[in-house]
Structure 1
Amino acid sequence: MITSVLPAPRATARAAADASATAWALAARDGDPHAAEHFVRALHGDVLRYVAHLSGDPQTAQDLAQDTFVRAFASLPRFEGRASARTWLLSIARRAVADSFRRAAARPRQADTHDWQAVMERAQPCGLPGFDDGVALLDLLEALPDERREAFVLTQIVGLSYDDAARFIGCPIGTVRSRVGRARATLERLLAEADCPAVRAA
């Protein structure tokens, strides 16, 4: 028997990964602790990227991801696998971020001081490879309208298909494609402006 050594198309690989994650979620729901571990490992990276970009605060991303999985395991008995576990989990992540915004808005503001800012800036791992690029990307994404940013992050960073993103957001697939296209055009324009010497000097 001849086995192909060519890599599977991205869409096929993503569908297989989604099917595996959903199967692990269902097994975890039925009490398999090993399946629960596989479920978390399979989707932790996607959740972390999504909450970091949705919240615009990479410093709290780990806490938001943890909150997402705590909520997911509490809701797991009601998960029936009608949607993929990835889509189901990202919807929980979206609610976790929204709740964190509401809590922050209700929290009393601390006294204005610059000391904590200096401490936080010194604590940043700026020497890590890719750190500056990641901060620059977050800054660029912040310039996008919320709807375009979410569509771009879901399809271009998290890796959902346009169809899955449309179901997740709750809009037609053509709307998702339009939002991603406009987001990409805006990002390309911003990158071109950043390369302009006058902008760098300013």
Structure 2
Amino acid sequence: MITSVLPAPRTRRASADASATAWALAARGGDPDAAERFVRALHADVLRYVAHLGADPQSVDDLTQETFLRALDSLHRFEGRASARTWLLSIARRAVVDSWRRAAVRPRTADTHDWQTAVECAQPRGLPGFDDGIALLDLLETLPDERREAFVLTQVVGLSYEEAAGIVGCPLGTVRSRVARARMTLAGLLAEADGSGPDARVERSARRAAATAA
């Protein structure tokens, strides 16, 4: 299944990030309305990110809620040096890692491919995608975990490479390389799925990604 998942244009996203950060800071000061706005503004991003990390699909909603509970409990330490979204996704990542550790000591009951359904339910509709509007949710599971995470953070959630590097905890060049390789893999798989040679537009997209990572 092919679904549009690209982030909003950079200027609109920057404005949304600024608003979410302002609400987080106001919530830190005890404003309950600001706390509600903060959660509402970033809920979809956290849900998509948690699902794309491959969390148990039956736990995606719970982990999203846990992320916000952790964030609200930690707001007194948030100073706005990074955007609230970047800070929140770091918390989400830790929540998912903690869930993996808990799952390691009990039998796994969820189908490993069902995460895709949870992701699809969280996607915005009618947006431009993979360079011209198409992101390949059904092919993302073929990517190695590290490449998928870098791709999701930058191409789906819409973080900058610098922000993604901070969340993942690796050098900026590594994130660029992972995204470029992910894009090239997806482009090739798309061409195969279409039953034809690589489309010129997709080839140009992959080349541009590779050049950016170089």
Regarding TM over 0.5, the answer is yes
Q: Distance in 2 between matches of 1:191 and 1:58?
A: 25
Partner of 2:45: 46
1:34 is matched with 33
Task: Give the AA of the match of 2:92.
Answer: A
Q: CA separation of 1:56/1:100 partners in 2, compared to 1, >3 Å: closer, same or farther?
A: closer
Say which is worse superposed, 70-79 or 84-93, in terms of deviation. Answer: 70-79
> For the residues of structure 1 that align with 2:16 and 2:57, how far apart are their CA atoms?
26
1:164 correspondence with 2:163: yes
2:140 alignment counterpart: 141
CA distance in structure 2 between the partners assigned to 1:101 and 1:138 by the alignment: 22
- The structure whose RCO (Cα within 8 Å, separation 6+) is larger is 2
Counterpart check, 1:16 vs 2:43: no
8 Å CA contact retained: 1:53, 1:138: no
Counterpart for residue 133 of structure 1:
none
Between 98-107 and 44-53, report the one with greater CA deviation: 98-107
- Structure 2: state its 5+ residue gaps: 1-7, 124-134, 197-214
Q: Note the alpha carbon deviations across 1:91-110, whole angstroms, 9 max, x for none.
A: 00001111111111112567
- Post-superposition Cα deviations, 1:57-90, rounded to whole Å, max 9, x if no partner, equal 4442211111111111111111111111101100
Paired residue for 1:182?
181
Query: Which whole-Å CA distance do the structure 2 matches of 1:79 and 1:12 have between them?
Result: 24
Q: Which amino acid aligns with 2:99?
A: S
Cα pair 1:22 1:81 within 8 Å, conserved: yes
Deviation (angstroms), 1:22: 0.9
Distance 1:63 1:137, change over 3 A: farther
* Structure 1 counterpart SS, 2:104: helix
CA contact (8 A) 1:56 1:138 kept: no
In the TM superposition, residue 189 of structure 1 has moved relative to its aligned partner by: 1.8
Alignment RMSD: 2.8
Tell me, yes or no, if the aligned pair for 1:52 and 1:61 is still in contact at 8 Å: yes
| C-alpha contact (below 8 Å) 1:11/1:161 kept by paired residues | no
How far does residue 56 in structure 1 lie from its aligned partner after superposition?
A: 4.9
* Matched position secondary structure for 2:53: helix
Per the alignment, residue 91 of structure 1 pairs with 90
Contact 1:56 1:142 in 2 (8 A): no
Moved more, 175-184 or 27-36: 175-184
Q: Deviations over 1:145-176 (max 9, x none)?
A: 22211110001111112232223223333322
Structure 2 partner of 1:5: none
Gaps spanning 5+ residues in structure 1: where? Answer: 1-8, 111-115, 131-135, 198-202
Q: 1:65 to 1:82 in 2, by over 3 A?
A: same
Corresponding residue number in structure 2 for 1:4:
none
Which residue of structure 1 aligns with residue 99 of structure 2? 100
Contact 2:139 2:186 in 1 (8 A): yes
Whether contact under 8 Å (1:18, 1:86) holds in the other structure is yes
